[in-house]
Amino acid sequence: MLTKRLKALAEDGLLEKRLYSKRPPREEYVLTDAGRDFLPVLMMIGAWAHRHCGGDLARYIDVESGAEIEPIGVDAITGARLGTRAIRLSSDQEHESRNL
């Protein structure tokens, strides 16, 4: 089961296999650039599940400080937390927009 999932993630470009030992030959899965870009999304989904689904879910811990991490989405241009301002979805191709 795990092997199938890892293979699928590699086929989708989120992981890649790397040889880390020639004798005996051993490989590890590491994140690709696309996988590193997707990691914050996964962390935010996990944080949402922790807040709204309860249970004993894993938490994110900063290795350097030991503090728990609370992932949030922030607009890189304005610095505003996502979900705190009205937004409009715009399509460059269609030149249409709609408010969300």
pLDDT tens digits, one per residue of 30-52: 999 999 999 999 999 988 888 88
Report CA Rg, the chain.
Answer: 19
Residue 90: phi, psi to the nearest 5? -125, 140
Look at residues 72, 77, 74 and name the one whose alpha carbon lies nearest to residue 60. Answer: 72
Question: Residue 49: what pLDDT?
Answer: 87
Peptide bond into 71 cis (omega under 30): no
Report domain extents, the chain: 2-73
Q: Is residue 8 within a helix (H) or strand (E), and if so which, with residue range? A: helix 2-11
Task: Read off the pLDDT of residues 58-97 as tens digits, 9 standing for 90 and up.
Answer: 788 999 999 999 999 999 999 999 999 999 988 876 555 5
**CATH fold of the domain at 2-73:** Arc Repressor Mutant, subunit A (1.10.10)
